[in-house]
Structure 1
Amino acid sequence: MLTIKSRCWICMLPVWHASVGICSWCERKLFLDQPRCLRCALPTDSACSTCRACQQISFPWQGTIAAANYLPPLSKLLHQFKFSSQTALAAMLSRLILLNYLQYRRHYLWQKPDIVVAVPLHPKRYQQRGFNQSDLLARPLARWIACQYGPNAIRCTKLTTTQHTLDRASRQRNLGQVYDVTVSLSGKHIALVDDVVTTGATAREIVRLLQQQQVASVQVWCLCRTL
């Protein structure tokens, strides 16, 4: 008798390998191939376009990759990953980001990063949670695309109010002088990995610091984009 060792995290049907984690049927329901603005990763009417809002403002990074919208069922899986210590989800969630990166590199000729970095947690918050979800997403991505990973390239030096509890204006004020770049990244192409992008306030603050290092380019990669 065939023993089923791996099942889809969403529908519980068998999958061919644990690292896949999600069946092809559920993967299609996530609309991973939905056209998105190349700058902010919000849904657009057509591929390879920039939304009207992004045409009117300047972005300090090359663009944003998001696997899917921050909606069920993926938002529920992400919540389990972050707040219920379901770290076994990391490989599957990272793979969803990878699929989008490969698509962007193939269709839009996006630059391959020299180094992947993750949005850091403050040491006290890391101690409470036991892991940094962005770090767990970033590590396999760096390995799969065969580039360097900088686990301590960026550090969080100030314990702030959790971003998801704040409105847009408060998010910007909350991030002043929070992060620090600890290594030289001059001339490097950077991929900055986060779990969710909402207003982009965290990315803006970190990219501002990276630009002070005179990096060549920055791409923001995330699992979910909040609508």
Structure 2
Amino acid sequence: MVALPLHVRRFRARQYDQAQLLAGTLAKATGRVAPVGWLERTRETKRQVGLSEAERTGNVAGAFVASRAVKGREVLLLDDVFTTGSTARAAAVALREAGATRVEVLTLARAFTLA
């Protein structure tokens, strides 16, 4: 189980990472592990609120790098909120590039707008 990480600056400002807290709690409840450091946000991205789907995709493209520790593993990527999937997709690409054999995404909430 790998949490979708905050950038280090955002983590320092908040003093917590909600996705990592969720992953740790779920891992403990299910007998799994949620190692920190297997996925890293390598550059600070703009907040996604108010961005179009295309802007969100561009904003997070190439923003993640995964540890080689994921090589040969199936990974459950955990995030707090799923809106367009851009962030989860970018993170999943990094995990697959590092050798994860399969990546599935689990989120606590799904955000959407009624048109």
Normalising by structure 2, we get a TM-score of 0.90
> Which of 74, 90, 93 lines up with 1:189 in the alignment?
74
Shift of 1:194: 0.4
Shift of 1:225: 0.8
Highest Rg: 1 or 2?
Answer: 1
Alignment-mate amino acid for residue 214 of structure 1? G
Structure 1: how far apart are the matches of 2:99 and 2:13?
Answer: 34
Residue 31 of structure 2 corresponds to residue 140 of structure 1: no
Q: Relative to total residues, which structure has the larger strand share, 1 or 2? A: 2
- What residue number does 1:166 align with? 51
Shift of 1:183: 3.6
Deviations along 1:159-193, one digit per CA (max 9) or x if unpaired, are 11111231111001101221111242122111111
Count residues in correspondence: 112
Q: Which 5+ residue runs of structure 1 have no aligned equivalent?
A: 1-115
Matched position secondary structure for 2:84: coil
After the TM superposition, list the runs of 4 or more consecutive aligned residues in structure 1 that deviate by more than 4 angstroms: none
Residue 34 of structure 2 corresponds to residue 149 of structure 1: yes
Alignment-mate amino acid for residue 225 of structure 1? R
Matched position secondary structure for 2:107: strand
User: Structure 1 residues 135 and 218 mapped into 2: Cα distance closer, same or farther (>3 Å)?
Assistant: same
Normalising by structure 1, we get a TM-score of 0.47
Structure 2: how far apart are the matches of 1:154 and 1:214?
Answer: 12
Q: Cα RMSD between the aligned structures?
A: 1.2
Structure 1: how far apart are the matches of 2:41 and 2:79?
Answer: 14
Matched position secondary structure for 2:55: helix
- What residue number does 1:130 align with? 15
Residue 100 of structure 2 corresponds to residue 226 of structure 1: no
- What residue number does 1:92 align with? none
Structure 2: how far apart are the matches of 1:198 and 1:184?
Answer: 28
Matched position secondary structure for 1:143: helix
Structure 1: how far apart are the matches of 2:92 and 2:108?
Answer: 18
Matched position secondary structure for 1:209: helix
Residue 93 of structure 2 corresponds to residue 217 of structure 1: no
Matched position secondary structure for 1:125: helix
- 1:19-168 matches, cutoff 5 A: 116-168=1-53
Deviations along 1:53-87, one digit per CA (max 9) or x if unpaired, are xxxxxxxxxxxxxxxxxxxxxxxxxxxxxxxxxxx
Q: Which 5+ residue runs of structure 2 have no aligned equivalent?
A: none
